[in-house]
Structure 1
Amino acid sequence: MAKIIGIIVVFASVLGGFVLSHGKIPALLQPFEVMIIGGAALGAFLQANPGSTTMQVLKKSLKMFGTRFTHAYYLDVLGLVYEILNKSRREGMMSIEADIEDANASPIFSKYPTILKDPKMIEFICDYLRIMSSGNMAPHELEGLFDMELMSMKEELEHPSHAVTGISDALPGFGIVAAVLGIVVTMASLGDGDKAAIGGHVGAALVGTFLGILAAYGFFGPLATALAHDAKEEMNLYEAIKASLVASASGVAPSLAVEFGRKVLFSAHRPSFSELEQSVRGR
């Protein structure tokens, strides 16, 4: 909701100020300027990024108007980790083999449908539980493996933000390109001596500059920042899972192992000690 309000505020402030200054909205409707700027930006984006990054940007951009990283989601993740660790501690690591081999059919995982919708997170949890069940890796070695994967994961999660930042930085330049082309058209029409047409061409050229700058700083720049925040929150959640599993591998009881994970979480959605305790006891 805050992002929608932000977009409305940008439009209302810019267009409202323009109209109150006796500007006319139709003067800003320059489809060919939009085609130049938007087409050039899209072409540059496709050149600079692999297809996988393009799809990631599209998918994550559509999700920017809501977030799955809520208080309840954090409790669900910690609750899942607690349940699976508690079962392994009571019945042995081999007891969770069926759960981690087919998470969708697992009675434990099926309690958390929101987490099952994220196959990447499910794979992450199950892979490390498999490693832990092998019993051949010391806790510090497990932590080292976590760190190596999280480092590469961090790079991957930040790709969409970096890609959009590159386009945001380029948009003012594409606005200038559109403006220069508008001036070329204007100079070509000077021989006709039609002042109204010349004024229209100059206005269209200036609108190109305006659109490039507005798109960069009013929309694509904030989108890149929002994607960066999303990546940080997702990484923080993986760090919490890592902390809980490493603590369990070190011999810490499940109820305390998830407390290790809780302490890693950002404070914005971090459940309190009593909330987490009541949640895991209730499960």
Structure 2
Amino acid sequence: MYLIIGGLVVLASVLGGFVMVGGKLLALWHLNEVIVICGSALGAYVIATPPKVMKRAMGAIKGLLKGPKYARADYVDLLKLVYELLVKMRREGVIAIEQHVDNPQDSAVFQRYPKVLADHHMLDFITDCLRLMVSGSMSPHELESLLEYELETHHHEALEPGHSVQRVADALPGFGIVAAVLGIITTMSIVGSAAPSEIGEKVASALVGTFLGILIAYGFVGPISTAMENRAHEDGKAFEVVKMALVASVRGYAPAVAIEFARKLLFSHVRPSFQDLEADLRAAKG
């Protein structure tokens, strides 16, 4: 929603200011300039970007029209799931969760949290971490280092689509100049044989290319890239929360304390209060 609102504000501001000084909107529409700029940018993007990144970029742009993957209530459910698993490990031993880890789709614990169960990236991350804990062959320091490496890889992959779109934003002003140069070349070819009014129209058309390249780059593509990166950072917070809780448990902290460590990592707008989370954990434990 904010993506659409922001785009409309950009258009209204630029076009409104242009009209206020007597400009005509049709003077800004030149299909040949659009084809040169947008077509060149798209071609360069295809050349520079692997297909898997392009596919994720399209999904990330669509995701901007929706809310974040995890809202406040979803983080509470995630913490409750980890808490239930840690309590079961402490009460019944690490072997007690082996069946839940091997078959999470059939686990009564995981089934209580369908949002997590439907997120296969998060599900794999949790179960893989728990398998390492069940094996008991890693120290807390080793486990934390391994999870840090995994999260670093995950964050790198999550940021790739945004970085690829940013490179397009960086190139668009250059393609705008290309369109303008082509327009000037056309204009120079008719100097001496065309009326001054026609030459003026050709020059104006060429300048529209520079205008469009800069507007699309800094008004739309660049901000979309930044929004994609911000969303990737926000969605990646869920993995950091799980990592903190599990590492704290391996270090010997009680499940409730481990969950409190994880709660502290959440951004303020999605972080539940200590009292509210404690009440939810008591309900889950019951």
TM-score, normalised to structure 1, is: 0.94
Residue of structure 2 equivalent to 1:46? 46
Structure 1 position 61, deviation (Å): 0.9
Which of 138-147 and 108-117 deviates more?
108-117
What's the CA shift string for 1:222-252, capped at 9, x where partnerless? 1111111112223322111111001111222
Letter of the structure 2 residue corresponding to residue 175 of structure 1: G
Mapped to 2, the partners of 1:159 and 1:133 lie a distance apart of: 33
Structure 1 position 190, deviation (Å): 2.6
Structure 1 position 169, deviation (Å): 1.0
Q: Please say if residues 72 and 272 of structure 2, whose CA atoms lie closer than 8 Å, have aligned partners that are also in contact.
A: yes
Q: Please say if residues 86 and 249 of structure 2, whose CA atoms lie closer than 8 Å, have aligned partners that are also in contact.
A: yes
Residue of structure 1 equivalent to 2:16? 16
Structure 1 position 193, deviation (Å): 1.0
Letter of the structure 1 residue corresponding to residue 215 of structure 2: L
Residue of structure 2 equivalent to 1:245? 246
Structure 2 CA distance for partners of 1:113 and 1:198, relative to 1, 3 Å: farther
3-state DSSP class of the match of 2:271? coil
Q: Please say if residues 69 and 235 of structure 2, whose CA atoms lie closer than 8 Å, have aligned partners that are also in contact.
A: no
Letter of the structure 2 residue corresponding to residue 140 of structure 1: H
Moved over 3 A (4+): 194-197
Mapped to 1, the partners of 2:113 and 2:233 lie a distance apart of: 23
Residue of structure 1 equivalent to 2:65? 65
Q: For residues 90-129 of structure 1, what are the structure 2 equivalents within 5 Å?
A: 90-129=91-130
- Aligned-residue RMSD, C-alpha: 1.6
Letter of the structure 2 residue corresponding to residue 107 of structure 1: A
TM-score, normalised to structure 2, is: 0.93
Structure 1 position 43, deviation (Å): 1.4
Structure 1 position 191, deviation (Å): 4.6
Letter of the structure 2 residue corresponding to residue 48 of structure 1: A
Mapped to 1, the partners of 2:202 and 2:31 lie a distance apart of: 13
Structure 2 CA distance for partners of 1:231 and 1:190, relative to 1, 3 Å: same
What's the CA shift string for 1:58-107, capped at 9, x where partnerless? 10011112222321222122122112222222222222222222222222
Which of 124-133 and 35-44 deviates more?
35-44
Which of 156-165 and 52-61 deviates more?
156-165
Which of 193-202 and 250-259 deviates more?
193-202
Unaligned runs of 5+ in 2: none
Residue of structure 1 equivalent to 2:34? 34
Structure 1 position 12, deviation (Å): 0.9
Unaligned runs of 5+ in 1: none
Residue of structure 2 equivalent to 1:79? 80
Q: How many residues align?
A: 283
Residue of structure 2 equivalent to 1:186? 187
Mapped to 2, the partners of 1:40 and 1:131 lie a distance apart of: 49
Letter of the structure 2 residue corresponding to residue 245 of structure 1: L
Letter of the structure 2 residue corresponding to residue 40 of structure 1: S
